[in-house]
A and B are shown apart, each in its own frame.
Chain A
């Protein structure tokens, strides 16, 4: 009996050191006063690349202030989940990058330090930032939940040689022209435009832009969803029709969700592409900047009344500070550093994005045609996505509805106004406030 007991106890006792031996705590950024933990998002060619870009800047910061920053580059597939757990458990990094479309949702959690005027002053002042970028950092009327770090907007990329071959002298400035050009460019071997039809976020972004041009909006002033209005129906239909009726988009694009449209453009299978700052990616796929031109996203030739002169959402990355940080001063200093003139030039030049501060807009680093085109869009014709907590539901529901419409179009089904309205209406019914 004793032996038996002993055996079981011994077995159980073995579990504990076994578990301990298997485990290994890792560095999560200790509470040492001069250390910060920073979660950066993936902006470049790979996680390792991003780390290599950031590390020298962090070393610079340490030299200037004596504060060590431990950076972890988090892939997009994980970032939202990890931010969520950090917000819930109040344990995690001090400073984080967030996609700017998440700003309103993040604001609603109350987990981040609000950037009221005083706090903004601590990082260099409100007026330094590009107004459109700052407007995408939280709901209007409330202090921003983050400050913009990298700014982006959509532009129209077109293949110069394919355009020349088809006898088109200049890129389209209206959608009607784009369709006409696209039809000239579409033959057996290539298509006019590449579209990421199964990517829910991309769909939602374009839905936003078209809706602006048709004079619609996705949420009313009270924050209630208004998905199925005639303007929105027209907007979504205009985009889907590029494949359905105009037939300048390869039906196969209806299943593209892993940036295949970018690859198609790089491999000369499509002549045009609507994307945010894709130059670095094209370069990685052997398409140099001399092979393509960049021009603002087109407008409607005769916009309806109420239509706005907007051709892109304000895209970008914001930088936020968790309230649970134990080094508030250090964190704000770091934010100030990252949004300082010098760093804004270095980082944005590497990533191909645009600075979020006005002071370095004219820097030579952003003089390339691609950056100039995006800059123009950003400063004159870009608008922030609705800054409501239900924004992510809008992206998911409307984006998925559009994905289904693309699938129908690719399978040859007619896309009527009614079909679009029904899908949008169904999407709206699933919004929970």
Chain B
């Protein structure tokens, strides 16, 4: 299928505009990260007049960025893995089975998206405290509590997304697998999941990013040992002033692992996975 000239032109223009839209603030961030603080506070200039890497050095000591970064990576990765696993099972159940309570489950799960986070906060904290008192498992001021909170936060959308995604996968695949003697679990793992890989990956990315960027619960439920980057960055805004250049530098540096991850996952989004699978 060849592309017409008009289509090619449109494609180039649209993609360039989008790239510009995304790049301009990013460029501002990079440029500000290499300026001394005073220049950043003044009029914006595209290129720094006195470039310096001081911000990249100071940012590790103004705020314990290394520790925060490690916490964020651990919490987000764990939350993503567990969330995706739980979501896959739930989505498989909802999309492949009709059972009593299915609609109720879906509606309940959806309704959790409608409550402002701040309303959850106090009651959830209370629950964690009571659990800690009863069982000794430390859930507040700990990474575990964050993991549990975050993986639940990303569940509703993950389940919905996967239900939609799995729903689009033709039943013919299931039937073919069953004819070959596979039970539901094997069908799920051997046949459906590989086909649904782009969707699963999108969900994994979403779950990771939800945990990565969450601010409200992290600000209350962590202490200095378990604090994550999302909240930790606010430490650059001190009683004195906002260390703009360090904020920019830190943001860029902490986004590197995530962006690298995106780059790495590119090839799993390649098309052509289901074409011809149902024969």
Measured CB to CB, the residues of A under 8 A from B are 1, 3-4, 7-8, 11, 14-15, 18-28, 42-48, 72-73, 75-78, 81-82, 84-85, 88-89, 91, 258-260, 262-263, 267, 280-281, 284-286
Contacts and interface: CB of A to CB of B under 8 A. Distances in A.
* Residue from B132, B219, B243 whose CB has the most chain A CB atoms within 10 Å: B219
B47 interface: no
Contacts of A89: 125-126, 129, 140
| 3 smallest beta-carbon distances between A and B, as pairs | A23-B144, A22-B78, A25-B138
A135 to B, nearest CB: 24
B125 A45 contact: no
B54 to A, nearest CB: 13
B239 A48 contact: no
Contact of B144 (A19, A46, A284): A19
B41 A26 contact: no
Interface string B235-248: 11111111100000
7 contacts: A21-B78, A23-B147, A24-B142, A26-B143, A78-B219, A85-B121, A284-B241
Interface of B: 37-38, 41-42, 61-64, 74-75, 78-79, 81-82, 85-86, 89, 121-122, 125-126, 129, 132, 138, 140-145, 147-148, 183-185, 219-220, 223-226, 231, 234-243
* Residue from A1, A73, A78 whose CB has the most chain B CB atoms within 10 Å: A78
Given A19-B144, A19-B148, A48-B63, A26 B241 contact: no
A19 B78 contact: yes
A19 B122 CA distance: 23
Contacts of A258: 237, 241-242
B234 A77 contact: yes
Contacts of A45: 238-240
Contacts, number: 140
Contact of B240 (A1, A8, A84, A259): A259
A85 B224 contact: no
Contact of A78 (B126, B148, B220): B220
A99 to B, nearest CB: 11
* Residue from A18, A22, A78 whose CB has the most chain B CB atoms within 10 Å: A22
A400 to B, nearest CB: 18
Contacts of A8: 89, 185
A27 B224 CA distance: 10
B142 A23 contact: yes
Given A78-B219, A285-B37, A286-B38, A27 B63 contact: no
A88 B220 contact: no
A367 B141 CA distance: 42
A88 B241 contact: no
Given A1-B183, A281-B239, A285-B37, 5 more contacts: A8-B185, A26-B138, A48-B62, A89-B140, A263-B241
A285 B39 CA distance: 11
Contacts of B185: 3-4, 7-8
Nearest to B79: A22
B256 to A, nearest CB: 22
A46 B41 contact: no
Given A4-B185, A88-B125, A263 B41 contact: yes
Contacts of B74: 22
B235 A88 contact: no
A318 to B, nearest CB: 16
B36 to A, nearest CB: 10
B225 A85 contact: no
B61 A48 contact: yes
A4 B220 contact: no
A20 B144 contact: yes
Contacts of A284: 240-241
A280 B240 contact: yes
A253 to B, nearest CB: 14
B239 A42 contact: yes
Nearest to B62: A46
Contacts of B140: 89, 91
* Residue from B85, B225, B238 whose CB has the most chain A CB atoms within 10 Å: B238
Nearest to B226: A26
A78 B37 CA distance: 25
B46 to A, nearest CB: 20
A22 B75 contact: yes
Nearest to B241: A259
* Residue from B85, B235, B242 whose CB has the most chain A CB atoms within 10 Å: B235
Contacts of A75: 234-235, 237-238
A41 to B, nearest CB: 8
* Residue from A44, A75, A81, A285 whose CB has the most chain B CB atoms within 10 Å: A75
Nearest to A44: B239
A263 B36 CA distance: 14
A188 B62 CA distance: 36
Given A22-B75, A48-B64, A89-B126, A15 B235 contact: no
